[in-house]
Amino acid sequence: MLHGTTGSLALATTLLVSGLNPANAEPLPSGFVRLRELAPAIAQDIRYATPFNFTGAVVPGYGRSECVLTRAAADALIRAEKRLAGQGYGLKLFDCYRPARAVAAFNDWVKRPGAPDLGRIFHPGIARGDLVTRGYIAGNSSHSRGSTIDVGLVRASEAASPTPLDAGPCDGPIATRPRESSLDLGTSFDCFSEKSALGHSGITAEARRNRATLAAAMSAEGFRGYGKEWWHFTLAKEPFPKTPFDFAIE
C-alpha cells in the first residue's frame, strides 16, 4: 500500500555514483545501496517487480527484483535482522525504494478501468475507483525517498518461499491468503483492508504477537511504523526527508 507523504518534487536522478552494481545494472545515486550486497541472507520478494501485486502487472521503474535503500536505512535494517535472529526470526522484504514513476503509475492505474487488476486478492470488497478516496493510494510515497521499507516476519529456519501466483483474499484465513511466511500476521502484505491496521482486534492473538515482535525490532533500530499497515516502516532520521527520487531499479 501507499502511505502518502508530502515533500519536494525535485526528482534526484543525477547524483553521484556509489557502490558496486550487478552486471548490466545502472549505477545508484550517492547514498544508496543494494541491500543484497550488504546482507544477502535477508529474504526478498519485491512484489512490484512481478505481476503478483494489486495492479496485476510489473510496475514501471521495477526493472529488477532488488531492494534498494539509503545506506542509513540498510544499516538499520541489518541491525533489526540481527536483533530478530536472537529470537529465532528473520525479515522478508516486499518493497524498499520505490521510483516516483511507480507512484504515478498507481494513480494512473486507478483511472483505467480496463487495466489488469488483482482486486479479488488485494482489495476484496473495495472498488478500484475508491482506493484513492479511501486513502489506500496516495499521490506521493515516502518509499520514493529511499528509507521506507515494507517488511514481514519469518521464522529464521524456514525455507524461502517463492512469489505466489494466485491466492484467496488477502484478509482471509491464513491457509487461503497469499503465502509469505509460516507465521500468521493477520493479513498478507499490501492488503487493502481494515485488518491491516497494526492494532486491529479482528485478527488472531498469534498475529498480534507477531506484528508486535516485528514492530518492536524495527522501532528499536530507529524505524517508525504506520498504524494502518503493519508492514510499513520509515527510518526516523532519514537522509533525504524531502526528496523523492525517480531512478529505475536496474
Domain that holds residue 199: 17-235
DSSP 3-state assignment of 193? coil
- Cβ–Cβ < 8 Å for 67, 22: no
- Determine how many CB atoms are found less than 10 A away from the CB of residue 203: 20
Alpha helix positions (H), 18-70: 35-38
At 23 the pLDDT is 56
Q: How confident is the model over 119-146, as pLDDT tens digits?
A: 999 999 999 999 999 999 999 999 999 9
Determine the angle formed by the axes of helices 205-220 and 71-85, rounding to 10 degrees. 130
Q: Find the farthest-apart pair of alpha carbons in the chain and give their distance in angstroms, rounded.
A: 48
pLDDT 10s per residue in the chain (250 long)? Answer: 555 544 444 444 433 333 345 556 678 999 999 999 999 999 999 999 999 999 999 999 999 999 999 999 999 999 999 999 999 999 999 999 999 999 999 999 999 988 999 999 999 999 999 999 999 999 999 999 999 999 999 999 999 899 999 999 999 999 999 999 999 999 999 999 999 999 999 999 999 999 999 999 999 999 999 999 999 999 999 999 999 999 999 9
Asked if residue 191 is part of any domain, the answer here is yes
**Using CA atoms in the order 81, 86, 89, 91, what is the torsion angle rounded to 10 degrees?**
0
**Using CA atoms in the order 102, 105, 110, 115, what is the torsion angle rounded to 10 degrees?**
-110
Known active-site residue 180: no
DSSP 3-state assignment of 123? coil
At 24 the pLDDT is 61
Q: How many domains does the chain have?
A: 1
- Rounded CA-CA distance 250/248 in Å is 6
Task: Catalytic residue, from 66, 180, 221, 229: name it.
Answer: 229
Asked if residue 10 is part of any domain, the answer here is no
Helices and strands in the chain, H and E counts: 5, 9
| Paired strand residues for 229 | 226
Asked if residue 142 is part of any domain, the answer here is yes
At 3 the pLDDT is 54
Asked if residue 226 is part of any domain, the answer here is yes
Which CATH number fits the domain that encloses residue 70?
3.30.1380.10
Q: How far apart are the first and last CA of the chain?
A: 22
Q: How confident is the model over 14-54, as pLDDT tens digits?
A: 333 333 455 566 789 999 999 999 999 999 999 999 999 99
pTM for the model:
0.91
